[in-house]
């Protein structure tokens, strides 16, 4: 009687279930959900206190503020969740145990990605949709269709950004063999992408009095996932088209920008797969 081996999807689901249980046991799902919920509700309902008044700001202001904060918070949450995905298994001695099972490295990588990406996406979407529902319930100025569209795009782009940084964490976790080096490298990458990169680009634009070609500016912005994330949400709420007239990258349709952000997880998945398959354990 032959023993039927589990299918690839079954193996991926098994790894994903194991990673998901680890996230639940470590309270990561709850922590990330509470973090994003607190951020979105604070911006939506108390963000106007800096102006000396307490009122619910308009939809455009809420989305702009949330996307600005999310550029910093989402990558950090993804890094803290995923930085030890591989180096942690190696230090604990469980990587060899996992690979001794009838599962190849690609399926193991996909299982971890499904779990980590799922935890981040579910937490992000639940918190943003909760915020949208409360805004619709407590403010007569918010309409269902534009509010849902804006928050749905914010949740989608935020999930893509989180998955991008989760995969970035996988790549770095496969390069180094110590957790300290992994987390230090990822924080440097986050700092450069979230802060330094835009300052350098702005400095170059100011230094040559705007003489840089539109093509070069577009390429430089495409090389930063946080810039793409900002562009997606700003274009999505720019109903007047005024932003598109001022910034070159923002002339593109929001669907094109989402597709370009999607390229980041695809490329990083390929890099992570190549590194993992070549890694000696």
Tell me whether residue 178 is in a domain: yes
Q: Within 13 A of 186's CA, how many CA atoms are on the CB side?
A: 29
Tell me whether residue 88 is in a domain: yes
Tell me whether residue 274 is in a domain: yes
What is the rounded distance in angstroms from the CA atom of residue 131 to the CA atom of residue 123?
A: 12
The structural domain count of the chain equals 1
CA distances from 190 to 27, 109, 183, 220 (A): 23, 22, 10, 17
- Paired tokens of 238: 């720019």
Tell me whether residue 3 is in a domain: no
Question: Apex CA 39: angle with CA 38 and CA 41, to 5°?
Answer: 65
What CA dihedral angle connects 222, 226, 228 and 234, to 10 degrees?
-150
Give residue 201's domain range: 8-278
Q: What is the DSSP letter of 268?
A: H
Q: pTM, whole model, 2 decimals?
A: 0.89
Mind listing the pLDDT tens digit of every residue in the chain (281 residues)?
444 446 778 888 888 998 999 888 888 888 888 989 998 888 887 766 656 566 788 888 889 889 989 999 999 999 999 999 999 888 888 888 888 878 889 999 999 999 999 999 999 999 999 999 999 988 888 899 999 999 999 999 999 999 999 999 999 999 998 999 999 999 999 999 998 988 887 777 777 655 566 677 777 888 899 989 988 988 888 654 444 444 555 567 788 889 999 999 999 999 999 999 998 76
Tell me whether residue 273 is in a domain: yes
Tell me whether residue 1 is in a domain: no
CA distances from 50 to 72, 81, 130, 199 (A): 20, 32, 24, 25
Tell me whether residue 2 is in a domain: no
């Amino acid at each position: 009687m032959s023993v039927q081996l589990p299918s690839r999807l079954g193996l991926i689901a098994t790894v994903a279930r194991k990673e998901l249980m680890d996230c639940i046991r470590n309270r990561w799902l709850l922590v990330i959900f509470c973090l994003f919920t607190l951020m979105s509700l604070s911006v939506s309902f108390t963000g106007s206190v800096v102006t000396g008044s307490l009122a619910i700001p308009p939809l455009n202001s809420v989305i702009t503020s949330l996307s600005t904060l999310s550029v910093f918070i989402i990558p950090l949450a993804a890094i803290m969740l995923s930085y030890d995905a591989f180096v942690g298994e190696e230090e604990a001695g469980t990587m060899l145990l996992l690979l001794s099972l009838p599962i190849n490295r690609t399926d193991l990588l996909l299982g971890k990605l499904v779990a980590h990406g799922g935890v981040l996406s579910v937490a992000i979407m639940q918190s943003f949709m909760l915020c949208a529902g409360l805004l619709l319930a407590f403010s007569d100025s918010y309409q269902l269709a534009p509010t849902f569209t804006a928050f749905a795009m914010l949740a989608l782009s935020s999930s893509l950004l989180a998955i991008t940084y989760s995969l970035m964490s996988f790549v770095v976790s496969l390069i180094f063999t110590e957790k300290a080096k992994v987390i230090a490298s990822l924080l440097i990458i986050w700092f450069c992408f979230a802060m330094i990169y835009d300052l350098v680009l702005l400095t170059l634009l100011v230094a040559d009095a705007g003489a840089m070609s539109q093509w070069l500016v577009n390429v430089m912005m495409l090389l930063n996932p946080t810039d793409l994330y900002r562009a997606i949400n700003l274009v999505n709420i720019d109903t007047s088209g005024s932003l598109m007239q001022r910034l070159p990258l923002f002339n593109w349709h929001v669907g094109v920008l989402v597709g370009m952000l999607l390229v980041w997880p695809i490329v990083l998945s390929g890099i992570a797969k190549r590194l993992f398959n070549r890694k000696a354990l």
